[in-house]
Amino acid sequence: MSLFSAEPPSRLQPKAEAAGVSAEEWADFMQYVAAFFGNLGNYLSFGDTKFIPRCSKDIFSKILGSSINAADLLDKWQAISDAVYDLSPSTRQMGLEGDGIS
């Protein structure tokens, strides 16, 4: 929310591309963002299965670093990036009794 409240995707995309993000990587990022907001988090609203971005952590960082509020966003990203990409057994699916998280 902080990313897109600072500037619209139409202004951010050219800056991200200038930082080395390809059109395909931008599309992958935007698909993750849409899925995240559509599910109100990074677990599917049905089945409670975790999804992660198709783009790498580095690309995600380049996009955030292209924003006018990059310093704040990159600090926050540093704190959560490992958890976003974590697909260990306990985080892949929400569940009970050690098969997932509750």
pLDDT tens track for 31-83: 999 999 999 999 998 878 999 999 999 999 999 999 999 999 999 999 999 99
If one counts the domains in the chain, the total is: 1
Is residue 38 domain-resident? yes
Range of the domain at 20: 2-92
Is residue 14 domain-resident? yes
Is residue 80 domain-resident? yes
Is residue 98 domain-resident? no
- Contact, 28 vs 54, CB < 8 A? yes
Contacts of 102 by beta carbon, 8 Å cutoff, 6+ apart? 94, 95, 96
Is residue 101 domain-resident? no
pTM of the model: 0.89
Q: Is the model's pLDDT at 93 over the cut of 90?
A: no
Q: Is the model's pLDDT at 90 over the cut of 80?
A: yes
Judged by DSSP in three states, 1 sits in: coil
Q: Is the model's pLDDT at 94 over the cut of 80?
A: yes
Is residue 100 domain-resident? no
- What are the structure tokens assigned to 10, written together? 């139409």
User: What is the C-alpha to C-alpha distance for residues 13 and 21, in angstroms, rounded to an integer?
Assistant: 9
